[in-house]
Amino acid sequence: MVTDHTLFPEQTIESAPPASRRIMAATEKHLGYLPKATARWAASPHLLDGFGKLTALFESSTLDPLSREVLVMTVAARNGCHLCIAMHTARLMTMQADPALITALRAGDPLPDARLDAVRRFTLRVLEEAGDVGDEALGEFLAHGFTPGNALEVILGIATYTLSTLANRLTGAPVDEQLAAFA
């Protein structure tokens, strides 16, 4: 099965639907460039807006930043989103994450840190069981210092980054030049 990615051309701020332009301009200002994924997603202002809002909510959650990145990389690796893997590898490097952690996340392997691996395992379990993880899996997650609220925030993160990974794959969004070293 092959998707016709030409159906999702890269829009410029000037050529995009009017409702996408503000978001595109804000993204370009924030990052210093307009990601090709954003340019392709511009066909749906609702997708752009929804992802932005979900990302802001997830980033403000009570999960610590490294746990959030573990979740994002787990979803990206599971869904085969090369762009998200490159982008979040770069982010982990700016956070000075352990290189062994990054390597394991990219490969979908168990993590060297037990607490962070609990996030990875719980994320995968939520996805595999469509949320019905069972008491044992939830208990294992909570045993690493996480809360029931964190368990629900994992679902928020999964929703947010499933949206982006699937949209990137559907549109064939390539890795931007700025992220090529992390691909």
- pLDDT tens track for 67-86: 999 999 999 999 999 999 99
Task: List the one residue out of 69, 51, 53, 74 whose CA is nearest residue 125.
Answer: 74
Q: Is 1's pLDDT higher than 80?
A: no
For residue 156, what are the CA distances in angstroms to 51, 125, 159, 160, 168? 11, 14, 5, 6, 19
Confidence of residue 4 (pLDDT cuts 50, 70, 90): confident
Has residue 47 been placed in a domain? Answer: no
CATH code, domain carrying 147:
1.20.1290.10
Residue 94 CA to residue 24 CA, distance in Å, equals 24
Tally of CB atoms within 10 A around 24: 23
Does the pLDDT at position 88 exceed 80?
A: yes
Is 132 inside any structural domain?
A: yes
Domain count, the chain: 1
Residue range(s) defining the domain that contains residue 92: 64-171
Left, alpha or beta for 108 (phi > 0: left; psi -120 to 50: alpha)?
left
Q: What is the mean pLDDT of the chain?
A: 97
147: in domain: yes
* pLDDT value for 2: 73
Do 7 and 172 form a contact (C-beta atoms < 8 A)? no
Q: Average of pLDDT values for 136-151?
A: 98
Q: What percent of the chain has pLDDT over 70?
A: 99
